[in-house]
């Protein structure tokens, strides 16, 4: 392929070592993961330890209430990439009829009605159970320590909290209490703690050790419950506590109270106990494609990953001159291929049985490649799948946000004062449990 060398100046030099290496988006998570390796843990122990630290130090980007999708290989099977599926489904009651009854035309971008079943914690614990070697307590010790003793606030975290400070103070008091100590936005570099999350993780550790719920009633003369016999069973006990125990109950209780959404109106959530208890993270083979001699691994259609594989299949038929993104020709070709792949994503990936065999075939890629000319396309152009009709998303020319206390249809011109916060990444939290 054509290669345009980068500028020789870099703040990210090539790192080399002989023992092991970790990387993450935060230095404390990286240091925690490296410490696990240096103390004899394997790569999966290290990854899980670092991930829970990220829940603490980067709440604007991820957290225990989110999703976790991972792709990995094992030393035993390096040529068989595996997908860790930690993508929670929508709650059973999150139906179009319910949202319309709430006066909403669209699912809010933020708030309890935007929430899927939280899956990140279960996914990380599944990875630890099946591929790690450590017990839960030492893995979570790093996150517990930073949550309890504090960590320096990132500039972006401070900016995010500042952007939603008024929202927190007026409509999400439990979030204001957690992220605005003393009623103010923390400054970048200031130490901030999350004692509630430290206690939550400690209770999971206690359950793993005891094998019974942290708040289970006991009779005075009842014998102590025996701890699960295996490491795997102990981690599973913590997983059950998360999805069926005190965490699940706190989520359901909190969701029952209406809170402000990005629509500008207040709504209760629809997550229920059965929603939480009914989900378990899982693993599955990755969907793969070959591009220029490399095997690219992605999730199934549920994670939108095959859209990249479709894009690469289209691009693989062009010569190298068309693939250099630093040139006008390369940028044009890559963007046009991306448009075609994303059109297929919108049209086909929502089906219960996504025709990936057809969409990823060489013949289909060749058909799509023929649509790319020297002129940019402004059309939505999904491809054809024999025997099926594509979903064509409606083209919206305007959106009328609801009026607080009113109905979406009554909200002409009402959006200016709503202070919408869709997608702001606000770290909303429930009261401590």
Using one digit for the tens of pLDDT, what is the confidence trace for 196-216? 999 999 999 999 999 766 555
User: pLDDT of 66-76, one tens digit each?
Assistant: 999 999 999 99
Split at pLDDT 50, 70, 90, the class of 324 is very high
Split at pLDDT 50, 70, 90, the class of 394 is confident
For residue 291, is pLDDT > 90?
Answer: yes
| pLDDT of res. 256 | 94
For residue 1, is pLDDT > 90?
Answer: no
Least confident of 110-124, 357-371, 399-413: 399-413
User: pLDDT of 3-54, one tens digit each?
Assistant: 677 677 878 788 888 889 999 999 999 999 999 999 999 999 999 999 999 9
Are 60 and 51 spatial neighbours (Cβ–Cβ below 8 Å)? no
| pLDDT of res. 16 | 86
Are 322 and 335 spatial neighbours (Cβ–Cβ below 8 Å)? no
Considering 321-325, 399-403, 415-419, the range whose residues carry the highest mean pLDDT is: 321-325
User: pLDDT of 73-121, one tens digit each?
Assistant: 999 999 999 999 999 999 999 999 999 999 998 899 889 999 999 999 9
Split at pLDDT 50, 70, 90, the class of 410 is very low
| pLDDT of res. 111 | 92
Mean pLDDT to the nearest integer, 305-325? 97
Where are the chain's structural domains? 27-150+193-217+224-283, 288-369
The per-residue pLDDT of the chain, averaged, comes to: 89
Split at pLDDT 50, 70, 90, the class of 228 is confident
Three-state secondary structure call for residue 19: coil
| pLDDT of res. 421 | 43
Q: What is the pTM of this model?
A: 0.87
User: Distance between CA atoms of 373 and 363, rounded to whole angstroms?
Assistant: 18
Split at pLDDT 50, 70, 90, the class of 171 is very high
The conformational region for residue 366 under phi > 0 = left, psi -120 to 50 = alpha, else beta, is alpha
| pLDDT of res. 432 | 59
For residue 294, is pLDDT > 90?
Answer: yes
User: Distance between CA atoms of 255 and 47, rounded to whole angstroms?
Assistant: 31
- Percent of the chain clearing pLDDT 70 (strictly above): 87
Give buried/exposed letters for 110-141 (b at 16+ CB in 10 A, else e).
bbbbbbbbbbbbbbbbbbbbebbebbbbebbb
For residue 245, is pLDDT > 80?
Answer: yes
For domain 288-369, give its CATH number from 1.20.950.20, 1.10.3210.10, 3.30.70.20, 1.10.246.130. Answer: 1.10.246.130
User: pLDDT of 354-366, one tens digit each?
Assistant: 999 999 999 999 9
For residue 414, is pLDDT > 50?
Answer: no
Give buried/exposed letters for 185-215 (b at 16+ CB in 10 A, else e).
bbeeeeebbbebbbbbbbbbbbbbbbbbbbe
User: Distance between CA atoms of 68 and 122, rounded to whole angstroms?
Assistant: 9
| pLDDT of res. 412 | 33
| pLDDT of res. 10 | 79
């Amino acid at each position: 392929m054509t290669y345009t060398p980068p500028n020789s100046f870099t703040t990210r030099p090539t790192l080399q070592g002989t023992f092991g290496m970790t990387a993450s988006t935060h230095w404390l998570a990286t240091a925690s993961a490296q410490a696990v390796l240096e103390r004899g843990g394997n790569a999966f122990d290290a990854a899980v330890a670092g991930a829970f630290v990220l829940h603490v130090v980067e709440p604007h980007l991820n957290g225990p209430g989110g999703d976790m999708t991972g792709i990995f290989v094992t030393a035993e099977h390096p040529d068989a990439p595996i997908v860790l599926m930690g993508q929670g489904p929508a709650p059973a009651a999150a139906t179009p009829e319910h949202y319309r009854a709430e006066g909403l035309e669209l699912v809010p971008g933020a708030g309890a009605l935007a929430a899927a079943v939280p899956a990140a914690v279960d996914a990380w614990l599944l990875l630890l159970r099946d591929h790690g070697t450590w017990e839960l307590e030492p893995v979570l010790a790093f996150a517990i320590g930073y949550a309890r003793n504090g960590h320096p606030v990132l500039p972006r975290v401070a900016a995010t909290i500042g952007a939603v400070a008024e929202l927190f103070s007026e409509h999400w008091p439990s979030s204001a209490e957690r992220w605005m100590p003393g009623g103010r936005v923390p400054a970048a570099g200031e130490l901030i703690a999350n004692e509630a999350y430290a206690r939550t993780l400690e209770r999971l550790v206690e359950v793993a050790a005891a094998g019974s719920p942290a708040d289970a009633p006991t009779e005075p003369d009842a014998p102590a419950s025996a701890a699960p016999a295996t490491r795997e069973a102990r981690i599973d006990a913590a997983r059950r506590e998360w999805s069926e125990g005190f965490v699940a109950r706190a989520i359901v209780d909190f969701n029952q109270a209406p809170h402000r959404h990005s629509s500008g109106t207040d709504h209760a959530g629809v997550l229920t106990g059965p929603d939480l208890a009914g989900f378990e993270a899982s693993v599955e083979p990755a969907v793969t494609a070959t591009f220029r001699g490399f095997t690219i691994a992605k999730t199934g259609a549920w994670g939108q990953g095959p859209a990249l594989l479709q894009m690469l299949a289209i691009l693989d038929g062009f010569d190298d001159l068309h693939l250099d993104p630093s040139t006008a020709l390369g940028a044009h070709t890559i963007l046009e291929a991306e448009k075609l792949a994303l059109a297929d994503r919108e049209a086909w990936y929502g089906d219960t049985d996504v025709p990936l065999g057809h969409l990823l075939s060489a013949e289909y890629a060749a058909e799509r490649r023929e649509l790319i000319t020297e002129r940019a396309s402004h059309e939505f152009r999904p491809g054809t799948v024999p025997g099926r009709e594509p979903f064509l998303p409606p083209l919206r020319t305007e959106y009328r946000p609801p009026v607080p206390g009113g109905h979406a249809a009554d909200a002409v011109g009402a959006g200016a004062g709503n202070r919408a916060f869709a997608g702001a990444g606000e770290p909303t939290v429930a009261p401590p449990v």
